[in-house]
Structure 1
Amino acid sequence: MPISQGLTAKQVQQRIDAGQQNEPAPALTRSIKEIFRDNLLTWFNLINVVLGALVLITGSYKNELFLGVAVVNTAIGIFQEIRSKRQIDKMSLLSEATYEIKRAEGTVELHQDAIVQDDLIMMHRGDQLPADGLIVTTKGIEVDESQITGEATPIAKTIGDAVVSGSFLVSGQAVVQATHVGTKSFINTLSGEVQSGEGANSQLLNTINRIIKILTIVIVPLGAVLFISRLLNHSSINQAILGTTAAMIGMIPEGLVLLTSVSLAVSAMNLARHRVLVRELPAIEGLARVDILGLDKTGTITSGKLQLNKIVPLQQETLAQLKLIVGGTINAIGDDNETAQALNRVLTDPGWQPIKVVPFSSARKWSGVSVSQGNYVIGAPEFILKQVPADLAQQIENYAKDGFRVLSIAKTTELKPDDLGEVSVLGLILIEDEIRENAVDTFRYFQNQDVALKVISGDNPTTVANIASRAGIKHSDQLIDMSSLGTDIDYDQLVADYTVFGRVTPAQKKQLVLAWQRAGHAVAMTGDGVNDILALRQADCGIAMASGSEAAKSIADFVLVDSNFDAMLNVLNEGRRVVNNIERVASLFLIKTMYSVVLSLIFIFMNNGYPFQPIQLTPISVLTVGIPTFFLALEPNYQRLSGQFMKQVMTIAAPAAICVVTYILVIDLVGGVQFNLSYAETSTLSVLLTGAVCLVALLMVARPLNRLKIGLVLLMAGCFALIFIFFGKLFSLEGIFNWEMAVFYLPLLASVYPFFYLVQEVVGRRILARINWR
């Protein structure tokens, strides 16, 4: 059977056997193998393994317990990421694009990985080409190849022209015969970069990674110098190894990166349950930082379900004649956008045969056809006419104020993309749309969270402003018609003055986003069509509807699987929960890091042994950091973001570290000299006071307190006390029920809270507050 009629089942199988089958879409998540590799093969895990091997030499096997903590942390990270991966993969199947393929047995709907060479792919406006091909049938299309060439100007294509995978149809329809599929297609030579562009940026992860980068430079040389100094101060090699190991594992903020990654993965899994597909995990954080939300009217504010209200004749044609002209024109053009579908549902098709077609373009705002009866165009009056007569402009304005989308049907002497010749407007077409259910409540919530809403649409600004007002968007009366502006546009002034932008071209949408970003705003952009691609790509966070075009979905950070914008409330809240909670608990991880680095530097020059053994850090790490941060990181916390991660962290971490170092020096210099305490006793008291300081820091971090948080802190404090009472020998701790020791350490314990508060006031409020942490 000829290829023009579609491949037979036998021909399809022959191509599959020959390896001429398309590639599946790039996975949004890492493979199981990659998850295990990236969680196991880390710099800090390597350090832990080396330190564990050194401790093994000493024969003090109980000091290997720190490896157990590292193993548990890694196992939790792997488990949570795999769990999230399965949920996200399941959700991504629902948003994957399918294509209509013309086969010998009829038209079938297939995923892109089922397409084989020579398949006939039926492409529609907004579709992304899954393979290289040749155009077999079309009335005229325009293709956006900006994903490949970087040029955003649509390129006209006709029968026999080649098209490449990764490009989008911005107008028209076509049947394309696949010529290169799979690894041979052009898109695959670009290593998938055209699909996703640059990865989402995470301020949180970037800041944490900067801390980790500094530590990787410091930890090994500092540990080596400490080890040598211990040997020079006549410590045994076993004591030197245990002291150095304790210092180095104390510097490692074990679990901080893990907790951040797990929190983002859990959020992605939670969002998948709310029918939101997250394409980039850091984008969850990105949306939480957004303070400008650009809304596309159709599909976001409104449902996108258009219907024809009425047709208004302006010339000598009767209503019946005009309906016949509109029906003939829209069917001959062959567009399949929402407006065309609304007209096709109610108008009769007279069966006009097109001679030439100019398909709809978001830049032109009109489509047209040349038939034996003449040239007809349908589109925005402002774009069809060089100058709209005053009386017609007033009539259009009145309809727009009533919330109608106003199109015109016109007859022209020419039909060129840039020249219509003489234009005679035959009538107006009134299209109406409906506000999305719950849109008012959703927008009110965003505005109450200090997220400014801006409406960017290709429709008449008065119509858009009317709909925005009905949806409860503030300042919707501040509107501008972008088509009325010249080429020299001051976008920075526009974004400062207006809320509703109408008659916006795709290029102008991008420039508006750029202007907000130049003003220091974090911008999210919603969209569902090819006209939104440039703005979605430019925005800090792109949000697409699953019912929209594949072009929009392929570059968005979030895809709303049910095309329900209300789900974005969950994304905003999840992002804020992650960022706020990680900002809050990160200080607990860094307390140990900070005092370990300072103590290592100090004890290089002291005769006394390092105050901790590796096993003694375990109760501090687990009970004051590991367990409580797991619960605190997952609690609801939807406050506005402070935007000052390091300042928030240092306000608690720096005073706590100062307190720990001060108490340990007092214990070593006063307790060891004045009270003649042994190394085992001073080491025990160092653990006791360090734990007390960290519990006070935990209490500070847990604010605002409630019953559950108070219970959590008390439980951790109780468990910490039980370590000394019942499990002292296991953790190399001396008994503390000794009155000679008690006379020394009880006043120190009583001073922990007031001393911490005093240091925080001096350091946190007066010194740290003056530092620019940006």
Structure 2
Amino acid sequence: MTERNLPPLEQGLTAAAVQQRLAAGLHNEPLPPLTRSVQQIFRDNLLTLFNLINVLLGALVFMTGSYKNLLFLFVVIMNTAIGIFQEIRAKRQVDKLTILSAAKMTVIRDGKKVSVDQADLVQDDLISVTRGDQIPVDVLVRETTGLEVDESQITGESEPIIKGNGDELISGSVLLGGHGIVQATVVGHGSYIKQLARSAKSDHRTPSQLLTIINRIIKILTFTIIPLGAGLFISTLMRGTGQNRAILGTVAAMVGMIPEGLVLLTSVALAAGAFTLGRHQVLVRELPAIEALARVDILCLDKTGTITSGDLKFERIEPWADVAAGAVQTTLAKLVSAINDDNETAQAIQSGLVKPAVTPDEVMPFSSGRKWSGASFDGQAYVLGAPEFIFREVSPALQQRIQQLAQQGFRVLVLAKVAKLTTPKPMTPEALGLVLITDELRPNAQATFGFFAKQDVALKVISGDNPVTVASIAKRAGIAGADQLIDMSQVGTEPDYDQLVATYNVFGRVTPQQKAGLIKAYQTAGHTVAMTGDGVNDLLAMRQSDCSIAMASGSEATKSLADFVLLDSNFDAMIQVLNEGRRVINNIERVAALYLIKTMYSVALTVIFIFMSHSYPFEPIQLTPISSLMVGIPTFFLALQPDYTRITSRFMKQVMEIAVPAAIAVVGYIMVIDLLGAEFNLNFATTSTLSVLLTGIISLNALLIAARPLNRFKIGLVALMGTLFVMAFLFAGKVFSLVNLLDWHLALFYLPLILSAYPVFILLQNGLGRRVLSKIRWK
């Protein structure tokens, strides 16, 4: 690298130099957006296999000249339009929040420190970096007293690496400790960040259970619809039925098999959930994460920023071993000044002491894994940090005093003189004093944690601080099981994580690797785990968790990794996040069965009528009142209802208890109607009208059961749908190809069938549905 590529540290690039590099294309590029483009949204919603099938079916109906039977296409178009609208609305909300939470970088230009977007970085920019930053471009270290770097995203090695002046850093690296000035060497497409953007979260997420089931259903239907439709069409023609009747019957069967509304409802509900959370200042980075959080039954908390406010205050220093108080305080002030860290603890101590000018000989910045920092100056080395990680064995007297102070809620650090700065522990430490830090409880902590307890979400505290201090604060916050605590620095190199998570609720002195181990143990025990964090010490645990939540005030690395970012750093917003997730998933699971009823009976009827002597019992237009009034319209209203109960994976249960009995009842009644038609010489218009009537009645019963627990709104909704369904027969019979039911001869057929529909459905539900469920559970 030539001299002209090394801008002065105090000056940085000039405005003219920045413009030259921008003109030459030597600038960085923004990370890929979190959301799809409007063009992609239109394409992915319009160009689907089911839409293609619907268009082809519409073309066949058009050939028959029965244009009113094209009404099903209007429903498809409306469904697609609603899906596009909701996703674009959610996209705009997420994009707006993304801009607000976008990481800024501090660069030196024209002798001043300025904040710029990552996309505005240019080659040779001097960037000021500190603990918690994620390097956005490839850089060269120009000035530092020591940087501790996590390059695991690139190398796969979890051990931190120390970098000094002249060393190179690859984009995607995370600073675990220290600060300094680095120079951008490779920006834009040439840097590793393009390949590494969000790589930490690309593979570790558990896929959405609900979407997996729905996609599996759609995949099966994809290989079922076309051959069944072809078989029905050919068999109908072979029976001598006219081509138009064969086309209309086949189209009705295939349209009935497509649960297009189910896919739409799921995507719309998730998009609407992201939009709602955005209004509460919560950025949702992945829509399936809403479902993951809804299923969470264990929430792991870091103490700082969640239980406590994170505003640390230096209380006092307590001399140890007859060392003069003034000398200890002076040594502490020099050490903090020499290390020159900018983490919360260092800032709290600096604000309570004067900052003398010190030129250190060696510096070891604070590390979450090491849990201490140190420096050598004036011919002597000193360290500051957690006593368990400084001393090989803490003396009983010192341990007793630390415990006493921790029980009072103090965070206790040890200032020690050492022979040499070595890792993982310094050489021959000698305690000089105890540094006391206080951290206030968040104002609404008790109410927030009380809410989670009522929602069957177990709270676990995983912190790097003294377990006694953490337990004391957890108890004040009302977290259950706060007395069950353990010091993770005492569990050895290969702890039994399964036993630990089964026994304890508060974990102190936890290293980043141990945090990830604890999360994995909870998952092994069958739990869905969410992890909250704001610092680099939480990165490994957040990657391991099923769902991760970061504070906007936290490090850029944690924010780039998290599924949710609380933009105002208010943990109370988690109440809204959990509620919204549960509302979305509970409602989708409840109403999904209604969509699958039509799919199930359509598949069954298609198979049956391939071998029957009569035509398929429906025309496409006749399915419209059922699809819209018994499924489409009410499910969109039900999907917006509050339901914050714990997720219990009810999808298959709802299908077996509602969809299967209802589908069997529909098929059974249509077979009875077909027999009655043959016995009493009823024409197709009459038997198809009766089939529509009974199918609608059974679907109405299923809707009533799916809407439980009932309230005035739900009762009114079901009653309204039933009324509109009856009105469709009375006032729009010709539109939907339905005969007039106001005929007492016809009433002799349909009244007994209507009166028997509910008891038969309930009988099937209590018998068949529960028997199938018990077999599923037994398997």
Query: Normalising to structure 2: TM-score of the pair?
Result: 0.98
Task: Identify the residue that residue 695 of structure 2 maps to in structure 1.
Answer: 690
Q: Deviations over 1:193-251 (max 9, x none)?
A: 34655456211111111111111111111111111100111111111111000000000
Question: Which of 150, 153, 159 in structure 1 is aligned with 2:159?
Answer: 153
Q: Deviations over 1:21-47 (max 9, x none)?
A: 111122111110111111011110011
Q: Distance in 1 between matches of 2:582 and 2:539?
A: 27
Q: Distance in 1 between matches of 2:373 and 2:51?
A: 61
Q: Distance in 2 between matches of 1:121 and 1:664?
A: 74
Residue range with higher mean Cα deviation, 68-77 or 291-300: 291-300
Task: Identify the residue that residue 344 of structure 1 maps to in structure 2.
Answer: 350
Task: Identify the residue that residue 307 of structure 2 maps to in structure 1.
Answer: 301
Question: Which of 675, 680, 686 in structure 2 is aligned with 1:675?
Answer: 680
Question: Which of 231, 235, 255 in structure 2 is aligned with 1:249?
Answer: 255
Task: Identify the residue that residue 481 of structure 2 maps to in structure 1.
Answer: 475
Q: Distance in 2 between matches of 1:731 and 1:720?
A: 11
**In 1, are the aligned partners of 2:12 and 2:125 still within 8 Å (CA)?**
yes
Which residue identity does 1:599 align to in structure 2?
L
Q: What is the CA-CA distance between 1:316 and the residue it aligns to?
A: 4.3
Cα distance, 1:96–1:196 mapped onto 2, change above 3 Å: farther
Q: Deviations over 1:672-730 (max 9, x none)?
A: 12222101110111111111111111111111111111111111111111111111111
Question: Which of 85, 89, 92 in structure 1 is aligned with 2:95?
Answer: 89
Matching of residue 705 in structure 1 with residue 710 in structure 2: yes
**In 1, are the aligned partners of 2:204 and 2:544 still within 8 Å (CA)?**
no
Matching of residue 585 in structure 1 with residue 612 in structure 2: no
Task: Identify the residue that residue 393 of structure 1 maps to in structure 2.
Answer: 399
Q: Deviations over 1:55-108 (max 9, x none)?
A: 111111111110000000000000000001111111112211111101114110
Task: Identify the residue that residue 266 of structure 1 maps to in structure 2.
Answer: 272
Which residue identity does 1:693 align to in structure 2?
I
Task: Identify the residue that residue 468 of structure 2 maps to in structure 1.
Answer: 462
Q: What is the CA-CA distance between 1:422 and the residue it aligns to?
A: 1.9
Matching of residue 493 in structure 1 with residue 493 in structure 2: no
Which residue identity does 1:378 align to in structure 2?
L
Task: Identify the residue that residue 112 of structure 1 maps to in structure 2.
Answer: 118
Residue range with higher mean Cα deviation, 369-378 or 652-661: 369-378
Task: Identify the residue that residue 545 of structure 1 maps to in structure 2.
Answer: 551
Task: Identify the residue that residue 607 of structure 2 maps to in structure 1.
Answer: 601
Matching of residue 762 in structure 1 with residue 752 in structure 2: no
Matching of residue 41 in structure 1 with residue 41 in structure 2: no
Which residue identity does 1:606 align to in structure 2?
M
Residue range with higher mean Cα deviation, 188-197 or 154-163: 188-197
1:709-748 aligned within 5 A: 709-748=714-753
Task: Identify the residue that residue 126 of structure 1 maps to in structure 2.
Answer: 132
Q: Distance in 1 between matches of 2:202 and 2:447?
A: 32
Cα distance, 1:773–1:646 mapped onto 2, change above 3 Å: farther
**In 2, are the aligned partners of 1:663 and 1:686 still within 8 Å (CA)?**
yes
Question: Which of 44, 63, 66 in structure 2 is aligned with 1:57?
Answer: 63
Question: Which of 750, 754, 771 in structure 2 is aligned with 1:749?
Answer: 754
Q: What is the CA-CA distance between 1:765 and the residue it aligns to?
A: 2.5
**In 2, are the aligned partners of 1:199 and 1:280 still within 8 Å (CA)?**
no
Q: Distance in 2 between matches of 1:53 and 1:766?
A: 43
**In 2, are the aligned partners of 1:166 and 1:194 still within 8 Å (CA)?**
no
**In 2, are the aligned partners of 1:381 and 1:407 still within 8 Å (CA)?**
yes
Question: Which of 355, 359, 365 in structure 1 is aligned with 2:361?
Answer: 355
Q: Distance in 2 between matches of 1:493 and 1:142?
A: 32
Task: Identify the residue that residue 164 of structure 1 maps to in structure 2.
Answer: 170
Identity of aligned residues (%): 62
Q: What is the CA-CA distance between 1:420 and the residue it aligns to?
A: 2.2
SS of 2:654's equivalent in the other structure is: helix
Q: Distance in 2 between matches of 1:524 and 1:345?
A: 34
Task: Identify the residue that residue 234 of structure 1 maps to in structure 2.
Answer: 240
Which residue identity does 1:757 align to in structure 2?
I
Matching of residue 3 in structure 1 with residue 2 in structure 2: no
SS of 2:159's equivalent in the other structure is: coil
How many residue pairs end up in the alignment? 773
SS of 1:110's equivalent in the other structure is: strand
**In 1, are the aligned partners of 2:153 and 2:199 still within 8 Å (CA)?**
no
Q: Distance in 2 between matches of 1:286 and 1:173?
A: 36
Residue range with higher mean Cα deviation, 191-200 or 621-630: 191-200
Residue range with higher mean Cα deviation, 138-147 or 638-647: 638-647
Q: Distance in 2 between matches of 1:149 and 1:270?
A: 39
Q: What is the CA-CA distance between 1:317 and the residue it aligns to?
A: 3.6
Matching of residue 332 in structure 1 with residue 338 in structure 2: yes
Which residue identity does 2:235 align to in structure 1?
S
Q: Which runs of 5+ in 1 are unaligned?
A: none
Task: Identify the residue that residue 408 of structure 2 maps to in structure 1.
Answer: 402
Which residue identity does 1:687 align to in structure 2?
V
Structure 1 vs Structure 2 CA RMSD = 1.3
Q: Deviations over 1:326-368 (max 9, x none)?
A: 1110111011110000011111112111111011111111000
Matching of residue 411 in structure 1 with residue 417 in structure 2: yes
Following superposition, which runs of at least 4 residues in structure 1 exceed 4 angstroms of deviation?
194-200
Task: Identify the residue that residue 670 of structure 2 maps to in structure 1.
Answer: 664
Matching of residue 568 in structure 1 with residue 574 in structure 2: yes
Q: What is the CA-CA distance between 1:757 and the residue it aligns to?
A: 1.1
Q: Distance in 2 between matches of 1:602 and 1:196?
A: 45
Cα distance, 1:191–1:542 mapped onto 2, change above 3 Å: closer
SS of 1:118's equivalent in the other structure is: coil
**In 1, are the aligned partners of 2:406 and 2:468 still within 8 Å (CA)?**
yes
Q: Distance in 1 between matches of 2:425 and 2:266?
A: 56
**In 1, are the aligned partners of 2:31 and 2:194 still within 8 Å (CA)?**
no
Residue range with higher mean Cα deviation, 507-516 or 88-97: 88-97
Q: What is the CA-CA distance between 1:189 and the residue it aligns to?
A: 3.4
Q: What is the CA-CA distance between 1:571 and the residue it aligns to?
A: 1.1
Task: Identify the residue that residue 72 of structure 1 maps to in structure 2.
Answer: 78
Task: Identify the residue that residue 771 of structure 1 maps to in structure 2.
Answer: 776
Q: Distance in 2 between matches of 1:196 and 1:182?
A: 21
**In 1, are the aligned partners of 2:139 and 2:183 still within 8 Å (CA)?**
yes
Cα distance, 1:236–1:628 mapped onto 2, change above 3 Å: same
Q: Distance in 2 between matches of 1:602 and 1:167?
A: 62
Q: Distance in 1 between matches of 2:577 and 2:200?
A: 25
Cα distance, 1:199–1:182 mapped onto 2, change above 3 Å: farther
Q: Deviations over 1:424-449 (max 9, x none)?
A: 11100000101111111111111111
SS of 2:441's equivalent in the other structure is: coil
Matching of residue 187 in structure 1 with residue 155 in structure 2: no
Q: What is the CA-CA distance between 1:739 and the residue it aligns to?
A: 1.7
Which residue identity does 1:3 align to in structure 2?
P
Matching of residue 292 in structure 1 with residue 298 in structure 2: yes
Matching of residue 530 in structure 1 with residue 536 in structure 2: yes
Which residue identity does 2:769 align to in structure 1?
G
**In 2, are the aligned partners of 1:453 and 1:474 still within 8 Å (CA)?**
yes
Q: Deviations over 1:307-327 (max 9, x none)?
A: 011100114443222221111
**In 2, are the aligned partners of 1:8 and 1:104 still within 8 Å (CA)?**
yes
Query: Normalising to structure 1: TM-score of the pair?
Result: 0.98
Q: What is the CA-CA distance between 1:740 and the residue it aligns to?
A: 1.4
Q: Which runs of 5+ in 2 are unaligned?
A: none
Cα distance, 1:773–1:264 mapped onto 2, change above 3 Å: farther
Q: Distance in 2 between matches of 1:181 and 1:241?
A: 60
Task: Identify the residue that residue 451 of structure 1 maps to in structure 2.
Answer: 457
